[in-house]
Structure 1
Amino acid sequence: MTKNSQRIHFIAIGGSIMHSLAICLAKAGHHVSGSDDHFHEPSKSKLKESGLLPENEGWDASKINSDLDFVILGMHAKANNPELLKAQELGLKVLSFPEYIYEASKNKKRLVIAGSHGKTSMTAMVMHVLQDVERDFDYMVGARINGFDEQVKLSDAPIIVIEGDEYLTSPLDPRPKFFHYKHDIVTVSGIAWDHYNVFPTIENYISQFELLADSSAKGSTLIYCQEDDLATKVIGGKERPGVTAIPYKAHDHVVKNGVTYLKLPNDEIKIEIFGYHNMQNLSGAQALLKQIGVTDEQFYKAIATFSGAGKRMEILGKNEASTIYTDFAHAPSKLLATTSAVKHQFPNRFLVACLELHTFSSLNKDFIEQYKNTFNDPDEAIIFINPEAVKQKGLEVLTEEDLRTAFNRKDIILFNDSAKLNEHLMQHNWTNKNLILMSSGNFGGLNLQALKQHIL
């Protein structure tokens, strides 16, 4: 341990972002321990490689003692977690993930990127540009980004880029994570109802973003997408003394032979990403970066080489006749943006889109009607539901007729068995066809690499 090192224990260390913070702090010289009741990849392998993977799965109150400086509590843990109860009994300091990020960055300029959709992609764009212009910065992002080893970096850098999630902070704090970061600049990409299990009404969900904007300190900046009605109403439609509001819209662009070009006053620039929503994200990133001195010339040079964030229209594989994409797209607005982007980019290719309904919201009969007309662009629309996921969430199984009514599409195909889904996809002739696989799960264990080899 180094001179200023601390003893830190992570409750739910295996989380998708928690493990990255644990690795970051261990590399900085802190003594890090942790527990979790189950470990998934890639966090399991990364923790093992860093010497942080616990010997056994499960919670162990004996790991909590008065020698700890503090505990970091993950959202996955419950309020009655034995390690949390022991920490509270000992009077130890307990911080949620966002609370710790703020504590580590309160002397930095905090750039927060929020919104119901697009925040990971926009955060990745900002990080990519800052790296290209050789600006020193810290970051916290919810996905794997090309050119960055981890999802969290904390150092002596003067600024930090933070993906601001609206989901709950911890089992002890039901507020959205983004409240804790106390932004200097915040960008809101758009507002579309999500997380039905936490925000049971759309009004409740929208109010979180209004509270975020209202929490802006004097001298701070709000940046919002003016093409999003709710973002415009909530962020731009209210005067906040001492706070600057800056709107943005999709960057002018043109698609030629499956390639997108940004249109400039006297030039066109070829870029690797595509889709109208990504053109909005790009403009949002540019508007934010302008606030910290990145010029348009620097921005365009850097953004030309940006290839996207992990599982955000990520190319799994391609040949001259087909491209396979993977994407989270687990909410209605994300589904619509992803499918329309691919269809617009390749209008002459048949599009097969497969969506796994995996989240509590998407599997809920009371929410599913929010998907109306969001799955119209694909030529073939497939939905996969893992019965085990429905059972674990205590929900009623949706039928094919339920889905066809909710999505307002009569030819939706439903699969509940990954083997049958795989067989169906294998039977396709993939000449001049694209495939999108959209899920925050894993399609019941579908072997994507084998599927890719067959298609390509």
Structure 2
Amino acid sequence: MILHVMHYHDRDVDYMVGAQLEGFDVMVKLTEDNDFIVLEGDEYLSSPIDRRPKFHLYKPNIALLSGIAWDHINVFPTYENYVEQFSIFVDSIVNGGSINYNEEDPEVKRVVEASNNTIRKIAYQTPEYTVENGGETFLETPEGPLPIEVFGKHNLNNLAGAKWICQHMGIDEDDFYEAIATFKGASKRLEKIAESKNSVAFKDFAHSPSKVEATTNAVKEQYANRTVVACLELHTYSSLNAEFLKEYKGALDAADVAVVFYSPHAVEIKKLAAVTHEQIATAFERDDLIIYTNPDDFKNFLFKQSLENKALLLMSSGNYGGLDFEEVKALIK
């Protein structure tokens, strides 16, 4: 969102972010000329030989912390160890710097407010918004409701944080709203891959429990009058860990039809203990959860669906064992 706003207003900044954005050929730009560099950093390791979290290296002047939800159990085996990385990050902000933080996340609020670092601490929260006309989100602004392309509470919350950062970088509120109204989202982040009058399909990189829940909730809120078919592939080390599975409790509750796909071969490759249907069903706490382990069986299920008056959500950091998303698009007629 921040890069989109800067690009919209022809503000030249350096950057290094993960997701592909419309209007950008590459997602890394490093010069010696610009006043700002926007870094999308997280808690994962810098590299196989440098096991420090990436965001410990940046020493920012301006920081944003949007959420803390346990992930990467292979690197951070306990929740306490995971949260500690964020405390170190907050303490790494340069003296006199600032952090904008999502006060709706209890762990974020606790970590930031507990820090003794001499920085400005600026809280933000989800702005007021409405969903109307069967799937259009309007952001409440001082000038009235503003139609926007992105949707879901988590995206609106991120928008509030992005507005603060853009203001720190010299973009006033009115200019931010003008630019953000044209933001369509990042690649593989609630990316709309097909739409017809009564059907829509999205793919999303969501795989951690908090992201799966937020994404599923967003689609159901946006398309409240449609049947939401949410399909999740358990693909990462954490998601295929039998001990971590319980973190997915309730993550798919908002879906009308909930499907989980995982590959036993992927479990073997990662040298993890075998995961059973029963463990997955117990973790999600959904009696009607549909579980597939064979890619062909999952594909057959998907392609037999009538998507009339439905919203299809495909969440994965993989591809469901070889699913062709171009073929999926053809299901929406």
Q: For the superposition of Structure 1 and Structure 2, which TM-score range results when normalised by the shorter chain?
A: over 0.9
Question: Following TM superposition, by how much is the alpha carbon of 1:411 offset from its aligned partner in structure 2, in angstroms?
Answer: 1.1
Question: Following TM superposition, by how much is the alpha carbon of 1:335 offset from its aligned partner in structure 2, in angstroms?
Answer: 0.3
Contact kept in structure 1, 2:261 and 2:293, CA below 8 Å = yes
Q: Which residues in structure 2 correspond to 1:31-430 (within 5 Å)?
A: 125-155=1-31, 156-241=33-118, 243-257=119-133, 258-430=135-307
Answer 1 or 2: higher relative contact order, Cα 8 Å, separation at least 6: 2
How many equivalent residue pairs?
331
Separation of aligned partners in 2, 1:326 and 1:366? 27
Contact kept in structure 2, 1:255 and 1:345, CA below 8 Å = yes
Separation of aligned partners in 1, 2:15 and 2:317? 23
What TM-score, normalized by structure 2, do the two folds share? 0.97
Question: Following TM superposition, by how much is the alpha carbon of 1:387 offset from its aligned partner in structure 2, in angstroms?
Answer: 2.2
Contact kept in structure 1, 2:129 and 2:138, CA below 8 Å = yes
Separation of aligned partners in 2, 1:223 and 1:410? 40
Q: Which residues in structure 2 correspond to 1:442-453 (within 5 Å)?
A: 442-453=319-330
Q: Which amino acid aligns with 1:374?
A: A
Contact kept in structure 1, 2:235 and 2:316, CA below 8 Å = yes
Aligned to 1:8: none
Separation of aligned partners in 1, 2:158 and 2:309? 29
Which string of whole-angstrom CA distances, capped at 9 and with x for unpartnered residues, describes residues 39-74 of structure 1? xxxxxxxxxxxxxxxxxxxxxxxxxxxxxxxxxxxx
Q: Which amino acid aligns with 1:379?
A: D
Separation of aligned partners in 2, 1:378 and 1:158? 45
Separation of aligned partners in 1, 2:94 and 2:324? 49
Separation of aligned partners in 2, 1:384 and 1:455? 21
What TM-score, normalized by structure 1, do the two folds share? 0.71
Contact kept in structure 1, 2:66 and 2:101, CA below 8 Å = yes
Question: Following TM superposition, by how much is the alpha carbon of 1:397 offset from its aligned partner in structure 2, in angstroms?
Answer: 2.7
Question: Following TM superposition, by how much is the alpha carbon of 1:266 offset from its aligned partner in structure 2, in angstroms?
Answer: 3.7
Larger radius of gyration: 1
Question: Following TM superposition, by how much is the alpha carbon of 1:172 offset from its aligned partner in structure 2, in angstroms?
Answer: 2.2
Aligned to 1:93: none
Q: For 2:185, what is the secondary structure of its paired residue?
A: coil
Separation of aligned partners in 1, 2:113 and 2:2? 22
Separation of aligned partners in 1, 2:129 and 2:60? 31
Q: Which amino acid aligns with 2:113?
A: G
Which string of whole-angstrom CA distances, capped at 9 and with x for unpartnered residues, describes residues 326-378 of structure 1? 00111000000000000001111001010000000000001110111111010
Question: Following TM superposition, by how much is the alpha carbon of 1:129 offset from its aligned partner in structure 2, in angstroms?
Answer: 0.3
Separation of aligned partners in 2, 1:216 and 1:161? 14
Question: Following TM superposition, by how much is the alpha carbon of 1:231 offset from its aligned partner in structure 2, in angstroms?
Answer: 0.3
- 1:421–1:455: structure 2 CA closer, same or farther, 3 Å change rule? farther
Separation of aligned partners in 1, 2:192 and 2:89? 34
Gaps of 5+ in 2: none
Aligned to 1:31: none
State percent identity of aligned pairs.
47
The more displaced of 306-315 and 441-450 is 441-450
Aligned residues: CA RMSD: 1.0
Contact kept in structure 2, 1:426 and 1:455, CA below 8 Å = no
Contact kept in structure 1, 2:129 and 2:140, CA below 8 Å = yes
Contact kept in structure 2, 1:236 and 1:247, CA below 8 Å = no
Q: Which amino acid aligns with 2:40?
A: E
Q: Which amino acid aligns with 2:65?
A: V
